[in-house]
Amino acid sequence: MAERRSKRLAVVLRLAEQQEQASAQRLADYRAQVTGEQAQLEQLQQYAEGYLDDYGQRRTGLRGADMIAYSGFIRRLMEAQDEQRRKLDAMAQTLARLQTDWQEKYQHRQSVARLIERLLKEENQADERRLQKELDEFSAQQIRRRD
């Protein structure tokens, strides 16, 4: 007897599960990277705020060259923050693509699982009909033998 279709599709289901798990892992790893980058931006912001506060308090006693150096450093801090924000924006787009990829893999696995479930039900029903037919034929033979 040929192998049942539901059993043959189990291989497809395992492959879909592996793909979904790999996609979920990529998504989780990338989320962790995004979280790290967000923490780095927050650190930059806190550092810049502290530096600006310090600059505001010291400004009266500073020489011109020191003020220029402070303002240059603050400008570089702001540029670093802007660059970090651009990086996070790009990462958000990549994160959205990874999320979509995982959702597609999840839906595919769910579809294959539902198909297998439906096939199993149909196969079981066919088995029951075949068994009932065999029982009916056996009963009919028993009745004919008695007559």
Domains of the chain by residue range: 5-146
- Per-residue pLDDT tens over the stretch 125-139: 999 999 999 998 988
CATH class of segment(s) 5-146? mainly alpha
Predicted local distance difference test score (pLDDT) of residue 56:
72
Tell me the pTM: 0.74
Of 73, 48, 49, nearest to 62 by C-alpha is 73
Q: Any residues with CB less than 8 A from the CB of 30 and at least 6 apart, and which?
A: 91, 94, 95, 98
State the Cα–Cα distance between residues 139 and 101, nearest whole angstrom.
Answer: 57
Q: How far is CA 26 from CA 13, 32, 92, in A?
A: 20, 10, 14
Q: Does residue 91 contact residue 114 with C-beta atoms inside 8 Å? A: no
DSSP H helix total and E strand total for the chain:
2, 0
Residues of the chain with pLDDT under 70: 1, 58-62, 147
pLDDT at 1: 58
Q: Is 99 helix (H, G, I), strand (E, B) or coil?
A: helix
pLDDT score for 147: 67
Torsion of CA 112, 114, 115, 118, to 10 degrees: 160
pLDDT at residue 87, as a whole number:
97
**Contact assessment for residue 13 and residue 110, using Cβ atoms and an 8 Å cutoff:** no
